[in-house]
Amino acid sequence: MGGAQSLALPPGKGPHQVGCTDVMVGHTQQGLFFRLFYPCVPRAGAEQPLWIPRREYFSGLADVTQRGRRWFSPLASLALGSCRVPVSWNGPFKPCSRGYPLIIFSHGLGAFRTLYSSVCLELASWGFVVASLEHRDHSASTTYFCPAEPGREEWIPFQQVPQGQKEFYFRKKQIHHRAEECVRALRLLQDVSRGESVPNVLHQDFDLSVLKDSIDVTKVAAVGHSFGGVTAVLALVKEPSFRCAVALDAWMFPLEHALYPEVPRPVLFINTEKFQTPDSIARMKRLSSRNSQTKIITILGTLHQSHTDLAFLTSKLLSLIFKARGTLDPCKCLDITSRAALAFLQRHLDLEEDFSQWEKLLEGIGDSLVPGAPFSRSHL
């Protein structure tokens, strides 16, 4: 079960090579932390970043899955600790005179900024700048910030719902925190695009100033999975610059009913077969009944984790622990997801691309795809 064989993420299929870097801004918990994926200039022998960037994340995953740290962390670290993402670490940014459209990506409950590398790098390969946030509302498996004193780090652990507290109120507070982080990430990248100096606490070999005039801040979308999917929906309420959202298997539970009439922009809901409930789908339909451009589709043969990198685990044991493997090939799921998203983004960001070739996917037409939610096929 060697590390190199335990995860196999596919390279992007788009015309651009992809680079990535980590960005941390501010020395407090109120700052921001995200991994940035972007089109880059190809270079021979480029270093590829680790998929799990720090061993602390293995302990965090043990806490989230409620497995014993003593056995889970070493097992996961041994199997996955050397796995890398097929992108160029701090690779030279490829300038774009008309500006790349921007995606702010929000992770699911118990995840972190690198667990969606497959979908983020795929979108970047088609000419997007993608900021994959690591949320600091205690919903990440773990995360950290760097106080101003040199060498110090403060870790923010994953938090279960406190005993005696109603889950809805706990999650509602988190989702607002998360959506506000999405807005702040957008503001930050707007500043960078204008040429303002933004110091990166992590001192990467990547100067954010190279992004000046290369992001089209009029073409911005929010994308997320699960808790991040509903975060992306709420981001539309909080910030008019977000022109649409793509919600991968959105967990609709934390969004308060009063906000549904406030969602001003279209949403593409891409669901898996085994996660959604009739109540959750009814909430999505409330939005689609208000906006004819909001679409709901379901990919057959998929589980909730099919939208994460965990679907690409080659270790059967880890795949079982994470409930990561549906019957549909994960590359096929990624193809459907990214192409549907690209067609939707073209439509609502007014992109000058040929992504409309995949428009039929938005109606649920295609292999392993149906419109709406196939509860007759689901175990729910």
Query: What is the set of active-site residues?
Result: 226, 249, 304
Report the relative pairing of strands 215-225 and 100-106 from DSSP bridges.
Answer: parallel
Mapping DSSP onto H, E and C, the string for 67-109 reads CCHHHHHHHHHHHHCCCECCCEECCCECCCCCCEEEEEEECCC
Residue 331 token pair: 């590359």
Distance between CA atoms of 133 and 201, rounded to whole angstroms? Answer: 15
Residue 139 token pair: 């919903």
Contact predicate 76/64, CB 8 Å: no
| H/E run at residue 62 | helix 56-64
In the chain, DSSP assigns E strands to 17-25, 32-40, 88-89, 100-106, 129-133, 142-145, 154-157, 215-225, 242-248, 267-272, 295-299, 369-371
Contact predicate 244/344, CB 8 Å: yes
Q: Which residue has the tokens 């008309």?
A: 98
SS3 content of the chain, % helix, strand, coil (to 5): 35, 20, 45
Quote the distance between the C-alpha of residue 379 and its chain's center: 26
